[in-house]
Amino acid sequence: MTTSILSPPVPQPAHDAAQPARVSFRQPVSSTGFIDAAWWPRSRDLTAELPPLLDVLWTAAREVTRIGYPFAAWDAAPRRMQLEGRSVRLGGFATGDPLTIRLSGQRGQERIDILVIAPDTDPAVAERALQLASQADDPYRAEEILARAGRDPAISQGLAAPAPTKVLPGQGG
């Protein structure tokens, strides 16, 4: 995949085609739940990590043109990238879930919320998080998926019941 960045000019890291995106999508896709996919990038450099992720999405006919991401979780990124002849707008945010990125189409008609697994995550935990996020009708938020992935591996395989969720006074239950 050829990548170039539009204003301001930033040196572009070489994309290694042998390194596909480590991503899993919820199957089957449904409108329930909070997370649509999980992604385990190799670094915190969006300009290096987005091309393989977008290649997977575009190959699956998902027309992503906008990406929202938490400033604190990533290295500085340009506001716009040109990939495979397509323009992609990037918008950082200071509030919201620091464990996710949001991808959408040009008019926001399609939205994909992706759990981002930190690059330095233990591989066994990252693999369990990828697997958990791909389960149909997964009712968990990003933080909960990562917490479950970090627990006993039997939980991620559905062999053991998860620990009960603590409900604080005044939150209902």
Span 121-135, pLDDT tens digits = 999 999 999 999 998
What is residue 79's predicted lDDT score, i.e. its pLDDT?
Answer: 95
At 6-25, the pLDDT tens digits run 334 333 344 455 589 999 99
In a domain, 95, yes or no: yes
In a domain, 168, yes or no: no
Number of domains in the chain: 1
What is residue 120's predicted lDDT score, i.e. its pLDDT?
Answer: 95
What is residue 84's predicted lDDT score, i.e. its pLDDT?
Answer: 86
Alpha-carbon distance 82 to 85, whole Å? 6
Across the chain, mean pLDDT equals: 80
In a domain, 72, yes or no: yes
**pLDDT tops 50 at residue 1:** no
The domain in which residue 115 lies consists of: 24-151
User: What's the number of CA atoms in the CB half-sphere (13 Å) around residue 34?
Assistant: 13
In a domain, 164, yes or no: no
Average pLDDT rounded to a whole number, residues 60-89: 92
* Percentage of the chain modeled with pLDDT above 70: 73
Note the pTM of the prediction, 2 decimals. Answer: 0.76
In order of 76, 84, 88, the CA distances from 91 in angstroms are 11, 20, 10
What is residue 13's predicted lDDT score, i.e. its pLDDT?
Answer: 44
In order of 12, 45, 65, 72, 104, the CA distances from 78 in angstroms are 11, 11, 14, 15, 17
What H or E segment, with its residue span, contains residue 83? strand 80-83
